[in-house]
């Protein structure tokens, strides 16, 4: 009996040892399997990235989706997939991915903010503005606070909700430490312009003051202030206000030149108003201002005076646009006193010049290069404010008139 008991005592450590070795063996097998799985996932990930780099997004997405299905914890991969879907225009799939992330309870606050931001961008891309606003407003004060506010600002401009745009731009200044005064002044001007259309003059006055508070002597706000005074039937004061534009923002005078002349006409000083515009042509001879001055010069002082003015312009600022206006004025004179041959020659010349100047005369955005026939405070191409030069591109000529 003692020998049997002794044998069992000897066997116990041996059994434990075998069990320990088996556990170690299972652990090694499990580690090997985990390692193989990790390597397989890494190979799949690299394959997906390689497909992306080789501009094969369809195959890349299929590969990355399989990885995400095998390991639901790959949060960054889900974010990458959602962004890919959105860029390819598959907004419904992007929304599903980001919505799944946003609804998870185990996400860290930063990842939850990231998911809310990306989901807001998805909704914005899909045109679901209410849902985009709700999602972007859920973003906290961390890394994604400023991008979310930028997206909200973009959305409010699309909706033309200028009051909310002002609030978003002001909050962005605090988040970024960067001035948005120019945009804020423009938003106030938009509110004032809309109020002027519906003849809500107290609202116009308030908006002008807020715009000038954001950017003192802001060109558009001063122009709008003159329009407000015209609506109040105070043309002399409008002229006084617009005189500041002539001295500090002369390149913008073409935007109000016709209204400037109407205000002068209302107080019987049309000739003085025309002289002031004529003086500006020494530095602002190209673009629409020349067209407007030529029109009013012809009406008030006659085509001969307009011809003299245009010859003067061609001497110091020769452009195809000025040459076209000179041909137009000389045709007007020839139709009154010239020969049929002279009229025919000028008609042919004017026709060629108009074809050429119509294709050349454009305002160009300094940010994206978008070209337009009319001036915009906000570029229709990239939505940047005050990106357009107030001067129209004109075709220059190398010598004076030869007609």
What ranges do the domains of the chain cover? 43-176, 272-361, 362-392
For the record, the structure tokens of 375 come out as 């001036």
Say whether 189 counts as a known binding-site residue. no
pLDDT tens column, 141-150: 889 999 999 9
Highest mean pLDDT among 52-61, 168-177, 234-243, 316-325: 234-243
Q: What is the structure's pLDDT at 311? A: 93
Q: What is the structure's pLDDT at 343? A: 83
Selected residue with higher pLDDT from 28 and 87: 87
Position 135 pLDDT exceeds 70:
yes
User: What is the homologous superfamily of the domain 43-176 according to CATH?
Assistant: Tetratricopeptide repeat domain (1.25.40.10)
In the chain, what percentage of residues exceed pLDDT 90?
Answer: 47
Q: What is the structure's pLDDT at 79? A: 77
Q: What is the structure's pLDDT at 344? A: 85
Say whether 368 counts as a known binding-site residue. yes
The stretch 94-108 carries a mean pLDDT of 81
Closest to 374 measured CA to CA, from 392, 360, 387, 354: 392
pLDDT tens column, 320-353: 888 888 988 988 888 887 778 888 888 888 888 8
Give the integer Cα–Cα distance in Å for 278 and 309: 8
Distance between alpha carbon 188 and the CA centroid of its chain, in Å?
Answer: 17
8-state DSSP, 251: G
Strands 363-364 and 371-372: antiparallel
Residue where the block lists tokens 């100047």:
357
Selected residue with higher pLDDT from 357 and 145: 145
The stretch 353-371 carries a mean pLDDT of 82
Give the integer Cα–Cα distance in Å for 190 and 221: 10
Confidence label for 95 from pLDDT (cuts 50, 70 and 90): confident
pLDDT tens column, 366-398: 899 898 888 999 999 899 999 988 887 765 554
Position 92 pLDDT exceeds 70:
yes
Cα dihedral value 338, 339, 341, 343, nearest 10 = 30
Q: What is the structure's pLDDT at 115? A: 87
Give the integer Cα–Cα distance in Å for 231 and 245: 19
Q: What is the mean pLDDT of the chain?
A: 81
Q: What is the structure's pLDDT at 23? A: 53
Position 266 pLDDT exceeds 90:
yes
pLDDT tens column, 31-64: 554 555 454 544 444 444 444 434 445 555 555 5
Say whether 365 counts as a known binding-site residue. yes
Confidence label for 286 from pLDDT (cuts 50, 70 and 90): low
Position 116 pLDDT exceeds 50:
yes
pTM above 0.85, yes or no: no
Q: What is the structure's pLDDT at 54? A: 42
Of the candidate ranges 55-59, 224-228, 268-272, the one whose mean pLDDT is the lowest? 55-59
Of the candidate ranges 70-84, 178-192, 346-360, the one whose mean pLDDT is the lowest? 70-84
Give the integer Cα–Cα distance in Å for 305 and 298: 7
């Amino acid at each position: 009996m003692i020998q049997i008991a002794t044998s069992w005592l000897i066997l116990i450590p041996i059994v434990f040892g075998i069990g320990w070795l088996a556990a170690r063996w299972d652990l090694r097998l499990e580690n090997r399997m985990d390692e193989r799985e990790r390597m397989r996932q890494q190979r799949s990930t690299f394959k997906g990235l390689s497909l992306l780099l080789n501009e094969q997004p369809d195959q890349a997405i299929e590969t990355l989706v399989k990885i995400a299905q095998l390991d639901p914890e790959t949060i960054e991969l889900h974010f990458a997939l959602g962004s890919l879907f959105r860029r390819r225009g598959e907004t419904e799939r992007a929304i599903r991915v980001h919505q799944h992330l946003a609804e998870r309870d185990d996400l860290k606050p930063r990842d939850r903010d990231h998911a809310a931001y990306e989901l807001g961008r998805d909704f914005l891309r899909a045109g679901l503005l209410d849902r985009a606003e709700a999602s972007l407003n859920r973003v906290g004060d961390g890394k994604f606070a400023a991008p979310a506010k930028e997206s909200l600002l973009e959305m409010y401009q699309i909706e033309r909700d200028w009051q909310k745009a002002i609030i978003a731009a002001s909050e962005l200044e605090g988040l970024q430490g960067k001035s948005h005064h120019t945009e804020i002044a423009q938003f106030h001007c938009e509110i004032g312009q809309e109020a002027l259309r519906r003849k809500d003059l107290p609202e116009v006055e308030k908006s002008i003051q807020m715009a000038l508070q954001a950017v003192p002597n802001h060109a558009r706000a001063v122009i709008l202030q003159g329009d407000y005074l015209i609506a109040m039937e105070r043309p002399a004061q409008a002229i006084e206000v617009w005189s500041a534009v002539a001295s500090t923002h002369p390149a913008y005078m073409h935007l109000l030149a016709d209204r400037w002349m109407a205000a002068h006409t209302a107080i019987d000083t049309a000739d003085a108003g025309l002289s002031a515009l004529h003086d500006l042509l020494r530095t602002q001879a190209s673009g629409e201002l020349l067209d407007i001055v030529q029109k009013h010069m012809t009406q008030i002082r006659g085509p001969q005076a307009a011809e003299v003015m245009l010859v003067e312009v061609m001497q110091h600022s020769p452009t195809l646009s000025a040459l076209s206006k000179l041909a137009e004025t000389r045709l007007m004179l020839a139709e009154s006193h010239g020969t049929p041959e002279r009229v025919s020659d000028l008609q042919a010349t004017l026709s060629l010049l108009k074809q050429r100047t119509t294709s050349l005369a454009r305002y160009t955005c300094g940010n994206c290069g978008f070209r337009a026939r009319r001036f915009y405070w906000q570029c229709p191409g990239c939505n940047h404010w005050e990106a357009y030069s107030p001067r129209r591109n004109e075709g220059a000529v190398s010598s004076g008139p030869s007609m």
